[in-house]
Amino acid sequence: MVNDVITAREIDVSVRLGKLELAYPTLMGSGCYGSGEEYAPFVDLSKIGAVVLKSVTRQPRLGNPTPRLVHTPSGMLNAIGLQNPGIEWYLEHDVAKFAQRPCTIIGSVAGFSVDDYAYTCEKLAARNEIKAIELNISCPNVASEGETFACDPNLTANVVRAARATTDKTLIVKLSPNVTDIASIAREAERAGADALAVINTVRGMAIDVDMWRPRLGNVTGGLSGPAIRPIAVLAVYEVARAVKIPIVGQGGIETAGDALEFFLAGASAISIGTANFTDPRVPLRIVDELRAYLAKRGLRSLQQIVGKANVGFANPHQYEGDEG
Amino acid sequence: MPIVSPLATIHNAIVTDRRVLAPGVVLLGFDAPDLVAVTRPGSFVMVVPPSGESAATALGVYEADGRRASILFFVVGKRTEELSRISEGEKIGVVGPLGNGFTIGSERDVAIVAGGVGIASVLLPAQAYVRTGARVRLYYGARTTELLVERERFAHEGCEVLVATDDGSLGHAGYVTSLLAQTDRRPDVILACGPTPMLRAVASVASDMHVPAQLSLEETFACGVGGCWGCVVPIVNTSAQAPSFPPAERNGSDVVYARVCKEGSVFWAHELRW
């Protein structure tokens, strides 16, 4: 029947994360996309869901010594070390510029104590330019404390609860894959008030220069990203989706619509793109076009209809509410 | 130095010519008039790999004239190997021009120092200085004679060319920086591009000579456009050079890490704290 023909343009690819509604399901990963401005010459930013800003901390941070990057098979190791001007300087000099971006801006907060997170989150979330906050409790590249939060269910709960008390805006909690049981951490984050979970941050790794007999990163260890970690990320999303009811932003090595679909089917409501932007800045827009074509071909009207479908048969009933597909 | 990049974009360029200059050294010309129009001496581009399977590669713009720009590169790994297999008529994605580029001033006597593949970033500034009427001398070093590619080209462009080879097969036997140090002619400014140890040596020679030096740095890039802070280098923390950083008294340090791809890739030697 003519009425059943769906054109790709009609497909609804929007997503809701807590109070935040995004027209596109594509977030640009924190630390990979500057503040959006850097990519504006190459990408129509009005066609991406949101930019997650580079993490900001309470105090200025110089960041890690160099080298900070190593290209590795199917990915890269980085150890930037949260270089940022500190929240006060950031609010005074940088945040106002974000209002001019033609896309949603999500702030990212990192810290070294529960109090740090609450302090920085409250200040940043109070700004109109910032539509939601991602709590980066899983940076693997800062001396011990950084990732500790995401490795401990109780610490995760404490940080999320403290940040939750400071703002009503959508709170996304970014989880680490470097844990034994990511589902238990996810449950604590949800219970403490997270609106959504970002799954996953980078996987810890190391590379050694065999001529110089020394680590190839100034920080010794780093975080692995890119297609090398994609199966790890898909599994993490799958496990978290079975443990919580809040939406998941899936991330880890997504380069194509096919990759993105794995995450949606595993239970992610949105995706985040990081390293693939370094290969080709056109990737985020291409993925949305291809997702729409994929859904149109199958007669589906909304991207959210396929979320978690690879979980059929497992306990995740909320994922199927309102499913008419 | 000014940060110029708002005119950068992604060019879908058709490869117009491909030459193997020496074993493992390739020159690719491509049709990109919009890129040529805004390219500055010292600009670089990120070349998107045709397979989409690895990170884009940062390469200096070698030539930029009329509709045609070119890149010149050594095959050193998987990514450059892939680029070396591109043939005429194929399309490549070229992001750029990027970086601040060299500052072309009113100096009358200019020394340009190139090491190996560093030659790829110094033709445009050489041409620009020759056009101003300056005397331009190229100090050009490589491992061996056959890797001193395009040296006749620089002579043809009006540069005096002095060469050095590690194996002594042509010109000065040894590093190009020792050739520079022995010069009979003190230049007004030095421009350099090459491996980091060479650039450090150039900075040291320039300092001894009391001559300002502009260094085009080589670093591992991820994004190449200022988004990831992976390619940084320590520089003196002054607001003029690092507008987006808190001043020293708030940062707790008189050095900051600046992005080679954004605040550079060309820095004055005296700015660097490496």
Q: What is the third-level CATH fold of B109-215?
A: Rossmann fold (3.40.50)
Cβ contact, residue pair B230, A89, below 8 Å: no
- Mutate which of B220, B221, B229 to test chain A, going by most A C-beta atoms within 10 A? B229
Q: Tell me the pLDDT tens digit for each residue of A108-120.
A: 999 999 999 999 9
Burial of B131 (0-12, 13-18, 19+ CB in 10 A): exposed
3-state secondary structure of A146: helix
Task: Read off the tokens for A302.
Answer: 């909304």
Q: What is the structure's pLDDT at A276?
A: 94
3-state secondary structure of B215: strand
Residues of chain B whose pLDDT is less than 70? 1-6, 238-252
d(CA A150, CA A182): 9
The residue of chain A with its CA nearest to that of B79 is: A71
- The architecture of the domain spanning B9-98 is Beta Barrel (2.40)
What are the chain B neighbours of A60 within 8 Å (beta carbons)?
A: 246, 250-252
Domain spans of chain B, in order of start: 9-98, 109-215, 219-274
Average pLDDT of A244-259?
Answer: 97
Percent of chain A with pLDDT over 70: 93
Q: Is the CB of B93 inside 8 Å of chain A's CB atoms?
A: yes
Task: Read off the tokens for A271.
Answer: 């995706």
Q: What is the structure's pLDDT at A314?
A: 52
What are the chain A neighbours of B253 within 8 Å (beta carbons)?
A: 62
Asked if residue B13 lies in contact with residue B92, where contact means CB atoms within 8 angstroms, the answer is yes
Q: Quickly count helices (H) and strands (E) in chain B.
A: 7, 15
d(CA B110, CA B104): 10
Asked if residue A57 lies in contact with residue A90, where contact means CB atoms within 8 angstroms, the answer is no
The residue of chain B with its CA nearest to that of A75 is: B54
Q: Tell me the pLDDT tens digit for each residue of B109-151.
A: 999 999 999 999 999 999 999 999 999 999 999 999 999 999 9
Q: What is the structure's pLDDT at B255?
A: 83
Q: What is the structure's pLDDT at B50?
A: 81
Burial of B205 (0-12, 13-18, 19+ CB in 10 A): buried
pLDDT over 90 at A38, yes or no: yes
* Closest listed residue to residue A125, CA positions, set A137, A105, A107: A107
Domain spans of chain A, in order of start: 2-320
Asked if residue A279 lies in contact with residue B54, where contact means CB atoms within 8 angstroms, the answer is yes
Alpha-carbon torsion, ordered B188, B215, B56, B87, to 10 deg: 40
d(CA B115, CA B131): 23
d(CA B174, CA B193): 17
Q: Tell me the pLDDT tens digit for each residue of B175-186.
A: 999 999 999 999
CATH superfamily of A2-320: Aldolase class I (3.20.20.70)
Residue type at position A162: A
d(CA B120, CA B141): 13
Q: Which residues of A48-82 are buried (b: 16+ CB within 10 A; e: fewer)?
A: bbbbbbbbbbbbbbbbbebbbbbbbeebbbbbbbb
What are the chain B neighbours of A63 within 8 Å (beta carbons)?
A: 229, 232, 257
Cβ contact, residue pair B227, A38, below 8 Å: yes
Average pLDDT of A73-87?
Answer: 94
* B222 → closest Cβ in A78, A94, A282: A78
pLDDT band at residue A320 under the 50/70/90 scheme: very low
Cβ contact, residue pair B10, A42, below 8 Å: yes
